[in-house]
Every structure is written in structure tokens, then in C-alpha cells.
Amino acid sequence: MAVHDDCKLKFLELKAKRTYRFIVYKIEEKQKQVIVEKLGEPAQSYEDFTASLPADECRYAVYDFDFVTAENVQKSRIFFIAWCPDTSRVRSKMIYASSKDRFKRELDGIQVELQATDPTEMDLDVIKSRAS
């Protein structure tokens, strides 16, 4: 599975310049490559992010999560989320599962990985507990 250059470039912008809050990636099956499907503006919320994931199709996503520690220190964690809802096609689940590790290696700087098959597995409480 090829990875479009844009995938890495946009990730670097998210990581270094904080240009985006999130990036949603899609596998184009015909071209056999991962592409950027959607970019989230820095002001967008976690709800905006989850709303941009299709209910019945797999996606990869990166989310830049800001939080304050118990010591009152502002921090951020870059999450890699493999979104594979139970309702997606079996073939699609297989392609995303088999390509995930290779794609994730292309994105240098992922701090937390999460796999989700339904929205409850990646709700804000899960993100908060995995961030700290």
C-alpha cells in the first residue's frame, strides 16, 4: 500500500506547527494508496473530529489532543486512531488492518495508538485516560 506524500507533509505540519487539530486518512482501494481525506482546523473540537469519521467505513486518523495535567501543566498528545466500525465491509477491514503498521511507521511522532470499532471506544473519556 503506497502512502501519498501529502499524508506525511500534513502530519508534520500538525506535529511541528500545530496547523491542524486532526487529519482523517482514507485508503483509495483503486489507486492502492493512503490519502488525506479531511483536515481539521485548530479551533475544531473533538466532537467535530468524531463527526468527520464515517459511521460504516474504516479510516485512519490522527488527533492532536491538548490537556492539562493534575500539576496544572499544559500538554498535548498525538493520537493515532484506527477506526474500523463493525458495520464496515469485511474486505475494507482487512485492508485497513493489514496496512496499519506500515502506515503508522510513516508518521513519526505518534504518541498514543487507539483502535475503535464503535464510538464508545474512542469517546473523550477514553482519550483523556490514555493521554495521561
Look up the domain containing 104 and give its range: 2-131
**Measured distance CA(12)–CA(18) in Å, rounded:** 9
pLDDT band at 1 (very low <50, low <70, confident <90, very high): confident
Segment 43-58, tens digit of pLDDT: 999 999 999 999 999 9
What number of helices (H) and strands (E) belong to the chain?
A: 4, 6
Tell me the backbone φ, ψ of residue 115, rounded to 5 degrees: -115, 135
CATH code of residue 99: 3.40.20.10
Tell me the three state secondary structure of residue 6: helix
Please state the rounded mean pLDDT for residues 92-115.
Answer: 96
What is the torsional sign of CA 33, 25, 101, 83? negative
Tell me the three state secondary structure of residue 29: coil
Task: Give me the number of domains the chain comprises.
Answer: 1
Compute the C-alpha angle 47/11/117, nearest 5°: 45
